[in-house]
A and B are shown apart, each in its own frame.
Chain A
Amino acid sequence: MKRAIRALKKSGYSGEIFYVEKEITPVEFKSNRLYAVEDKVKSGYGVRVFKNGKMGFSSVFGDNLDRAVESAIESVKLGVETEFSLPSPARIKGGLKYYHEDTEKIKVKEMIKMGEELLNKLGVLGDASIDISLRKSVKRVKILNTEGVELEYKKTGWSFGAIVFAIIADSVTWIYDFYSCSKFVDRRNQIERHIKDLYRKSKTLAKPVKGKKDVIFMPSALHTVLIPISRGVNGENVMKGTSPLAGKLGKKVLSDKISIIDNPFKSWGINTCPFDDEGVPTRKKYIFRNGVLENYVLDLRSAKKLGLNPTGNGFRSGVSLPFPDFTNIEIAPGDTSIRDMISSMKDGLVVHSVLGAGQSNIIAGDFSVNASLAFRVKNGEVVGRVKDTMIAGNSYRVFKKVKEVSKERKNFQGMLLPAIKFSSINIFGDGG
């Protein structure tokens, strides 16, 4: 890589070489039995070169850096205009926790044993069909550029989760729980408790519900309303002007009960890292603080375009061009317990999972989902599960009408999320 960077410099180009190598080892249980063990190794290069304000790019999977460099140079003449410049070496925060040697060394046999134990614990759920997935990964990233940046890190990843599928009270029911971080943590008991609890609650059906009601989105369903907001703060959409949050920095756009943080420094977070895939140091920041929009999520390109500083959020999918993306999403906790949030509810829904999130006009903030696992609450009591129920609204509007945020938070797929109660969301339950 160093040789290629020197060669680029010599021929008058500035440029960058990104290298990533990822090994993933999944152990999969399907329908109550061990199904497959895999080992996947993938490595490749992404090469950006610049001359006279024009950019060329190419990428390659496999060991063929020369071809990628050649092809990147070739594509400079097509005239992709760029205004930003590559970063120079900067101070990188040390001491972050993202590589865990014992996680890298976990044996497949141990993973199988963990999975089998969880399977046995969940096996008591009648004729339920259980899928369990355990997955460890090791990722190595290197970035070199002609401005002198030479960075690398190695990180581990760990995720563990289960999906239970069953027919409960004549209804198809899916219950799941997943957590991800960069270090092995044994959360078998929590997964077991969570799934068994929901399984038990799903046995009672409630009458369909219709109209404007209060809705609590549990951490596992919060993405329904979070996806549009996360798109809205994404530098790419802000830059294009397609985000309703364009031009709203410093303005209060959500309820003051809502603070959303992008935290690359979180100890053992799944996306914890010292710098992004463009070599920009990462930093912890509020995206929203008490409802006020404080930061967008930016890569080099969108930051330059918007006249802002890059936020260290330029990430890639494999060896693709960088794009703005969150690291570890956290929503600040409130001060009400989930129990109290339910007991103060007169009539509404508690939603654990949905179908169809992110499928509406998310740019505008809209959502319209089927509450696939949701419970009706009446006078502070959970009275049973509802079926065939659509919940629809607009994220920007509902996030202004937040009633309560729970003090408990949960790692759901690597995000740290509370439960949130919104007021007056439109519900349509068939037969209601």
Chain B
Amino acid sequence: MEEIKRLLEKASVDYVEIHIEEYEKSYVDFNGKVLKSAGKSYGMFGNIRAFHRGGWGFSSFTELKGLEKKLREAEKMARLTSSKKGGLKSLKPVKKTVRIRLPDDPRRFSLEEKKQLAEKYNKILLSNKGVFNTVVGYLDHFDRRWIFNTEGTEIMEERIYTGVRMTAFARDGTNVQTAFDSYGEQEGFNSVTSLERMAEDVAKIAVDLLKAEKVEGGKYTVILDPKLAGVFIHEAFGHLSEADFVFENRKLFEIMKIGKRFGPDNLNVIDDGKMYGLRGSYHFDDEGTPARKTYLIKNGKLTGRLHSKETAYLLGEEPTGNARAIDYTFPPIVRMSCTYIDNGDTPFEEMISDIKKGIYAVAAYGGQTELEMFTFSAARGYLIENGKIKKMLRDVVLTGNVFETLMNIEMIGNDLHLFGGLGGCGKNGQAPLPVSDGAPHIRIKDVIIGGEK
């Protein structure tokens, strides 16, 4: 690492960053009754990122040789792309080391123990007679990252992600249904050893979905559960708060005016990288900026957005510690950390009580957004009739315009929960980035639901 510091002294452009990363992963995957794979993988990634008068050059590698040549290449590319526009918000240099200290660090457990754990859940799934196949995975991922820059920052931060995911397949003739759940945070091995209940639920839901009816397309009052509401706020709104996106789209820039109303008075949306232990948290982002808590919406009005050092400069705001890279073959870009809708005060019972006909949409298959338009697939839904939850529905896909939808939020629950898991967020080819998202239950009017019927 001394060599790297010396290399930085040779930099000839405005700003240079050097990133080095080592990782170690253990994984176990069951497919039905069969152990599909189990083992470890290792690696090292690194890159040199150079900035010169608004232009970036970036050179990444998996072997630590010829670094000076890489530096020159990156500098050359930065000069090629430079323009008069642009700059970086400079920061006080940080010299800090963050190490993991977990009594149940998963690296202390054998692959055999990890296999037995995954096998335990797999057996629970398979013990449900309606389940004909499964995918159950265990994963731990240790990561050590070094960040050096020409401002004098020297950071080493370790993180460890531990998680389990499970999918059950149920079949009735040609009707095949699946259910999925996962748990994954920056915690030790013991955090994933008592998920028996989750396994039972996943199996039961897959089987129940066989009998669920397809939803009828139309416009409904919808209650989103904390998981789906979390995906919604992350995908549909969170990405619009990423300042690179805002800066690049003039129209969005006009829409995303600080102080403008986006939702009801009790709507608060927050991104907080400091929720240590959660999957989306960290001490320093990949530009060395300390993580922080940022209000995106406060009392229904837009109050902030997420920044890297570059976007903070371009928009004349402060870096928020949201410049992240999934690994060091990629440059850091503006990303979320732990994003959530804060608690309101409506209990679930009250939320549902006066709905004549509506839909309770639960958990998420996935979602996609194109600026203000979004679609989300709930993993399942329930018909609400006269204030009561009735039959289960499947293929519930919600779509709409995010700004109209936020304004249509009628009630916000008091049962906030954040979810991590083993997946993550994708942007510019960088996926999956560990993030957390969540919300309490929320109720929204006039949501369009697509359906085959």
Contact = CB atoms under 8 A, between A and B. Distances in A.
Interface stretch (A7-15, A72-80, A271-279): A72-80
Nearest to A239: B31
A393 B42 contact: no
A392 B370 contact: no
Given A41-B61, A355-B368, A428-B450, 7 more contacts: A36-B57, A36-B331, A40-B59, A43-B63, A78-B28, A81-B35, A364-B174
Contacts of A56: 39
Interface in A155-199: 165, 167, 172, 174
Contact of A38 (B59, B217, B395): B59
A153 B111 CA distance: 35
B77 A38 contact: yes
Interface stretch (B140-148, B371-379, B414-422): B371-379
A37 B368 contact: no
Interface in B350-391: 365-377
B139 interface: no
A16 interface: no
A174 B44 CA distance: 38
A78 B32 contact: no
A375 B36 CA distance: 46
A31 B370 contact: no
Contacts of A368: 375, 377, 395, 397, 450-452
Contacts of A242: 133, 169, 171, 176, 178
B38 interface: yes
Contact of A78 (B112, B132, B331, B371): B112
Interface stretch (A57-65, A254-262, A344-352, A411-419): A57-65
Interface stretch (B154-162, B197-205, B248-256, B292-300): B248-256
Contacts of A33: 83, 85
A426 B57 contact: no
Contacts of B450: 368-370, 390-392, 428
B373 A60 contact: no
A44 interface: yes
A357 B77 CA distance: 36
A368 B393 CA distance: 14
B134 to A, nearest CB: 9
B194 interface: no
B167 to A, nearest CB: 10
B62 A127 contact: no
Contacts of A372: 370, 373
A42 interface: yes
B176 A364 contact: yes
Contacts of B45: 42, 61-62
Nearest to B45: A61
A369 B368 CA distance: 10
Nearest to B42: A60
B43 interface: yes
Contacts of A364: 174-177
9 contacts: A34-B81, A60-B43, A61-B43, A62-B43, A75-B39, A165-B251, A242-B178, A369-B397, A392-B452
B37 A80 contact: yes
Interface in A16-51: 30-31, 33-44
B81 A35 contact: yes
Given A41-B62, A172-B371, A361-B365, A426 B32 contact: no
Residue picked from B247, B369, B374, B452, most chain A C-beta under 10 Å: B452
B92 to A, nearest CB: 26
Given A42-B329, A359-B375, A359-B377, A426 B81 contact: no
A359 B368 contact: yes
A305 B324 CA distance: 42
A360 B395 contact: yes
A390 B43 contact: no
A71 B39 contact: yes
Given A34-B81, A129-B248, A426 B373 contact: no
Interface in B267-320: none
Contacts of B42: 58-62, 64, 67-68, 71
The 9 closest A-B CB pairs, nearest first, are: A390-B450, A61-B43, A356-B375, A75-B39, A359-B366, A368-B397, A428-B217, A31-B248, A37-B77
B115 interface: yes
A368 B178 CA distance: 17
Given A62-B62, A361-B365, A392-B395, A71 B81 contact: no
B56 interface: yes
A127 B250 contact: yes
A390 B398 CA distance: 9
A366 interface: yes
A363 B56 CA distance: 42
Interface in B233-258: 247-251
A93 interface: no
Contact of A58 (B41, B218, B374): B41
Interface in A368-411: 368-370, 372, 388, 390-394
Contacts of A240: 31-32, 133, 169
A172 B245 CA distance: 15
Residue picked from A38, A44, A129, most chain B C-beta under 10 Å: A38
A129 B249 contact: yes
Given A60-B41, A388-B399, A390-B448, A244 B81 contact: no
Nearest to A166: B251
Nearest to A25: B77
A226 interface: no
B39 A57 contact: yes
Interface string A277-310: 0000000000000000000000000000000000
A370 B375 contact: yes
Contacts of A37: 56-58, 77, 80-81
A430 interface: yes
B396 to A, nearest CB: 9
B5 to A, nearest CB: 21
